[in-house]
Chains A and B, each alone.
Chain A
């Protein structure tokens, strides 16, 4: 395992798992984002602070995300569509999972690429058909992985990364969402 270098500090993660088993309070994280309307359907969301391991924390730098809609939506396309951010989240979460599981299983990765497709019937959000949901109908993630491992081991990596993925869970299982006006 020591010869594998995927750049994931699995030892730290395994140690954290052991420590947090007995410290559920420290395991509670709060992730935050703040957004500002820019006009039209364009908004900017910033992410910097979060809470975890018992205290307020901060990313090294603030990240800024523009969201808008493409011109076919009669918008100015100053950023990607909000629902596309879900694909960004899912892709990055599963990829992180693949790298971590590979590191833990002693599998050297050479390249990991994923292509994501979410099919979306926009009659839902347009209110054109009450039987059509607003969100994705289906999401397909296709991984291309080059690694020192059999096809079966690679499939197991991808399966395990889904099993431990925050975003996969958030997309496949219901979550209570409260939206309020302060």
Chain B
């Protein structure tokens, strides 16, 4: 296993059940990304009762709350201790190569030979920033969601937050609350209310079976896997943090950032359509929930609908980056896994892992903990149990076939 986060540890749990010898290699400590690579106010999008790992669930007083990064770290540590996973911390994997009928794994503490490798390093190892960021004038400070900790770290003055996924809307709200003028650049996004008909929207995803949709059932899996995280925040108030909420806070919305020309940021004029797309998709999803509630005799509360996303009177199409209005750019333009150490030809032309539900396109190589790996639920911590059980079953079958 490469990585001792929820995915690597869940895999370890099922390997132990099958009495298969294994090691979990971790560059830092258990739950490393949660310790070091999240901003201070970070909270999970899933409510506590949904944050569960095989044989390990939240047992605190606030099942409807959302864990902070510290609490997630403790939760995963608890799971590691409970499952007595053989973790080697402080050990960085520098290379994985095919060797014989298995793999040669080179680490910062020597070499390991093994019959199978599970890539479980997480989906968010590296921030993705568009190439035109290099054309941003040097007077503007740039940081990614990886570097961002809290508003005080930024100079006073305006902030341009780029990207309207969960990360982008959360950081835009926090920076606006710190008193800074905030402009948010919005491309295609996923709009969700925090609660719907009295329940957490993720309760609906779970109960209605939307999260159980499998990777081999969706029409365009590549697109489903690319989907940005929904506009949600796990705050104690359980407040919806959609674009209307941000507009009400005084955040200025502009279109997708398309280019930098002569020190000006140029934004798309297609803002209305990304609003329409997100509003329509949300409506369809809520219709699905209503239909499910009707057929299952569930009546949690009256149907409710959110007003359409408010279109700004006149969204700006360009912004002078040298004018001093914007002092900082925060890139919330997504993350990608780090596969630099993987020297097995299993990446596609975009650098993405070629895999079928976690079974990588090379015998004995597996992946866990990626968005929509086997089902929609895979993107969230509670999706790992079924994924890891199934992927490890395949791995066990592979080893058995080899042993024959």
User: How far does the alpha carbon of A174 sit from the alpha carbon of B280 in the complex, in Å?
Assistant: 27
Stretch of A32-40, A53-61, A72-80, A152-160 at the chain-chain interface: A152-160
Q: Which of B256, B259, B270 contacts A162 (CB 8 A)?
A: B270
How many B residues, CB 8 Å from partner?
A: 16
> Is A173 an interface residue, CB under 8 A from the partner?
yes
> Is B41 an interface residue, CB under 8 A from the partner?
no
Chain B neighbourhood of A163, CB < 8 A: 188, 273, 277
User: How far does the alpha carbon of A158 sit from the alpha carbon of B280 in the complex, in Å?
Assistant: 11
Is B258 touching A155 in the complex (CB atoms < 8 A)? Answer: no
Q: Interface 1/0s, chain B 234-277, versus A by CB < 8 A?
A: 00000000000000000000011011010000101110010011
> Is A171 an interface residue, CB under 8 A from the partner?
yes
Is B268 touching A156 in the complex (CB atoms < 8 A)? Answer: no
> Is B92 an interface residue, CB under 8 A from the partner?
no
> Is A180 an interface residue, CB under 8 A from the partner?
no
User: How far does the alpha carbon of A152 sit from the alpha carbon of B277 in the complex, in Å?
Assistant: 11
Is B270 touching A174 in the complex (CB atoms < 8 A)? Answer: no
* A17 shortest CB reach to chain B, Å: 10
> Is A172 an interface residue, CB under 8 A from the partner?
yes
> Is B338 an interface residue, CB under 8 A from the partner?
no
Contact of A159 with B258 at beta-carbon distance under 8 Å, contacts A171-B269, A172-B269, A172-B270 already known: no
Find residues 111-144 in chain A having any chain B CB closer than 8 Å to their own CB.
none
Is B280 touching A155 in the complex (CB atoms < 8 A)? Answer: yes
Is B283 touching A174 in the complex (CB atoms < 8 A)? Answer: no
* A94 shortest CB reach to chain B, Å: 11
Chain A neighbourhood of B268, CB < 8 A: 172-173
A22 nearest CB neighbor, chain B only: B349
User: How far does the alpha carbon of A170 sit from the alpha carbon of B398 in the complex, in Å?
Assistant: 50
Is B273 touching A174 in the complex (CB atoms < 8 A)? Answer: no
Q: Which of B259, B276, B277, B284 contacts A174 (CB 8 A)?
A: B259
SS of A interface (majority):
helix
User: How far does the alpha carbon of A159 sit from the alpha carbon of B281 in the complex, in Å?
Assistant: 11
Is A173 touching B258 in the complex (CB atoms < 8 A)? Answer: yes
User: How far does the alpha carbon of A156 sit from the alpha carbon of B283 in the complex, in Å?
Assistant: 11
User: How far does the alpha carbon of A174 sit from the alpha carbon of B266 in the complex, in Å?
Assistant: 7
Chain B neighbourhood of A158, CB < 8 A: 276
* B270 shortest CB reach to chain A, Å: 4
User: How far does the alpha carbon of A159 sit from the alpha carbon of B277 in the complex, in Å?
Assistant: 6
Chain A neighbourhood of B284, CB < 8 A: 152, 156
B258 nearest CB neighbor, chain A only: A173
* A117 shortest CB reach to chain B, Å: 15
Chain B neighbourhood of A168, CB < 8 A: 270, 273
Find residues 301-330 in chain B having any chain A CB closer than 8 Å to their own CB.
none
User: How far does the alpha carbon of A152 sit from the alpha carbon of B308 in the complex, in Å?
Assistant: 13
* B232 shortest CB reach to chain A, Å: 22
Is A174 touching B261 in the complex (CB atoms < 8 A)? Answer: yes
* B276 shortest CB reach to chain A, Å: 4
User: How far does the alpha carbon of A72 sit from the alpha carbon of B259 in the complex, in Å?
Assistant: 37
* A131 shortest CB reach to chain B, Å: 13
Q: Interface 1/0s, chain A 145-182, versus B by CB < 8 A?
A: 00000001001101110110000110111100000000
User: How far does the alpha carbon of A106 sit from the alpha carbon of B270 in the complex, in Å?
Assistant: 26
* A33 shortest CB reach to chain B, Å: 24
Q: Interface 1/0s, chain B 349-390, versus A by CB < 8 A?
A: 000000000000000000000000000000000000000000
Query: What would be 5 A-B contacts, judged by CB atoms less than 8 Å apart?
Result: A156-B284, A172-B270, A173-B256, A173-B269, A173-B270
Known: A168-B270, A172-B269, A173-B259. 6 other contacts (CB 8 A): A152-B284, A159-B273, A159-B276, A162-B273, A163-B277, A173-B256
B→A interface (CB under 8 Å)? 188, 255-256, 258-259, 261, 266, 268-270, 273, 276-277, 280, 283-284
